[in-house]
Structure 1
Amino acid sequence: MASEAGEAGARGSGSRRVRLDPERIVDALLELARREPHERLTFKRIGEELGVDATAMYRHFRNREAMTQAALDRLNRLSVEAGQAVPGGWRARLEAHLLATAELYLTYPALGAEGAVIDPAGPGDAAAVEFLLEVLHEAGLEGGALVRAYAAVSGFALSFSAAMAHEVMRGGEEEAGSEPWITSFGSAHLPDYPLLDANRDALFALSGMDVYRAGIAALLDSVERQGIEHAEADR
């Protein structure tokens, strides 16, 4: 009976049969995440988008988390492709990959908001880890230094990108990534904090993406210095 229900669900509300597979479901999930940035994605909503009963999707994904993993894995693959497409050395490719990660999370915020807590555990995820290790190794790192740099870069990119996506999910009206990093210091008497007071305009002008870019630059500067130090130590 469950099989019959699944077959019926895959036929949708009319007589035309809807062919479901994991790729098509992920396509629909991404389209909804882009079109409805403030909504949490559910089997029911995706079933409506595809014109099938939600139960039909359980033949391909055991639960919502498994479906989200597959979609995040797709985003990982796309961010790797963005990095690989950039000509030049390790730094240009790594920066492009990290910026693509944030841009994809902001394009599909309902997914991106979960990117730091759900492990995709798929080929796209493996490709992203391999890509990071590859460019960091090209920068001159190996062994423990390589793994620590991977942890710092990956952790920063995923957590910060997910946080920005979460801000979009909260319903901010600003363009994704342009939300102010600091909006107010409340009742604080700013002259009591002379450096803050002197730089207040520049601080208030910072957006979330400005902070993300600054973090990337600082991390990559550190990787570059470590690479130079390793090269000099080997001479």
Structure 2
Amino acid sequence: MKRGRLDQRTIVDAVLELASREPQARITFKRLGEALGVDATAMYRHFRNKDELTRAALDRLAETATADARASTGDWRDRIERFATRMAELSLEHPAIGAEGAVLDPVGPGDVASDEFILEMLTSAGLSGAGLIRAYAAISGFTLAQSAALAQEALVRRDIARDGSIPWISTFGSVDLAGFPHVREHRDQLLAIDGLTVYRAGITAILDSISRSAAAA
């Protein structure tokens, strides 16, 4: 992974490549320097610390998801679904980065571009004012929190694929379900749910609500 000229974009490329190739490895400036063929101190000429670098990597994920959604076809709803799906996919692809999305705010051009995209799509749906901001908050908050949660689980569990297929409920253990008739009735279906199914169901519910609000407006 040796590079030529070292700049911020090259370093972020290297971070994301490492996070994808070695998902459980701790990314440090020393490890990055080895991958790039430079002294670790060279990183500090471009990023003050690891948090700043991680923010830049998160910003790249938002930039990529937004660009993919903008290039997609369909109405406002289809394109927001595409954006949300890509955010989850990218977080799972780079779990060491995606998991940090719950605690670090990128505050970069990619992040702002994603905000602009969501607001643009919701405006085209017919929302405005407080309703527009509420809808934005629901989409942004859910996408951020849940994609980070998917990444965190993929990060700590070395035995699973990074495709969102981790069971939402892995087991009911030794609990006697006789006293929980609804859980007992739907036990098999509940155990078949995975993390990405939960994520998509949440986005669908949010967009269903927004669609009703837009129609009423």
Tell me the TM-score range normalised by the shorter chain.
Answer: over 0.9
State the 1:168 CA deviation. Answer: 1.1
Q: Secondary structure at the match of 2:100?
A: coil
Question: Aligned equivalents of 2:132 and 2:107: distance in 1?
Answer: 21
1:211 maps to which residue?
A: 198
Using the TM superposition, name which of 25-34 and 81-90 deviates more: 81-90
Q: Which residue of 1 aligns with 2:149?
A: 163
Give the alignment partner of residue 125 of structure 1, picking from 111, 115, 127. Answer: 111
After the TM superposition, which segments of 4 or more aligned residues of structure 1 sit over 4 Å from their partners?
none
TM-score by length of 2: 0.96
Equivalent residues of 2:24, 2:158 under 8 A apart: no
1:182–1:203 contact (8 Å) kept in structure 2 = yes
User: Which stretch of structure 1 is more off in the superposition, 120-129 or 132-141?
Assistant: 132-141
Counterpart of 2:102 in 1: which secondary structure?
Answer: coil
Contact 2:19 2:95 in 1 (8 A): yes
**2:134 & 2:210 partners in 1: Cα distance?**
10
Q: 1:151: Cα distance to partner?
A: 0.8
User: 1:107 maps to what in 2?
Assistant: 93
- Find the counterpart in structure 2 of residue 7 from structure 1: none
Which residue identity is paired with 2:159? Answer: E
Which one of 180, 187, 196 corresponds to residue 193 of structure 1?
180
Q: Which amino acid aligns with 2:161?
A: E
SS at match of 2:205: helix
Secondary structure of 1:113's counterpart equals helix
User: Between Structure 1 and Structure 2, how many residues are aligned?
Assistant: 215
- What's 1:37 paired with? 23
**For 1:51-130, what aligned pairs fall within 5 Å after superposition?**
51-130=37-116
Change in 2 beyond 3 A, CA 1:172/1:197: farther
Q: CA deviation at 1:140?
A: 1.6
In structure 2, the residue matched to 1:20 is 6
Which of 1 and 2 has greater Rg?
A: 1
Which secondary structure state, in structure 1, belongs to the residue aligned with residue 111 of structure 2?
helix
Aligned-pair CA distance for 1:223: 0.5
> What whole-Å deviation, never above 9, does each CA across 1:8-63 have from its counterpart, x for those lacking one?
xxxx9xxxx95210011011101000000112211111111101111111000011
Name the aligned partner's letter for residue 111 of structure 1: I
Deviations 1:123-182 (Å, cap 9, x if unpaired)?
101100000111111122111111111111111111110011001110242222100000
Consecutive unaligned residues in structure 1, runs of 5 or more: 1-11, 231-235
Aligned partners of 1:43 and 1:57 also within 8 Å? yes
Q: 2:133 aligns with which of 147, 150, 158?
A: 147
RMSD across aligned positions (CA): 1.3
Percentage identity across paired residues of the two chains: 55
Question: Is the 8 Å Cα contact of residues 39 and 169 (structure 1) preserved in structure 2?
Answer: no
Q: Distance in 1 between matches of 2:158 and 2:186?
A: 25
Deviation at 1:85, TM superposition (A): 1.3
Amino acid at match of 1:143: G
| 2:208 alignment partner in structure 1 | 221
Using the alignment, how far apart are the partners of 1:173 and 1:223 within structure 2? 38
Q: Which runs of 5+ in 2 are unaligned?
A: none
Rounded to whole Å, the distance in 1 between the matches of 2:154 and 2:138 is 24
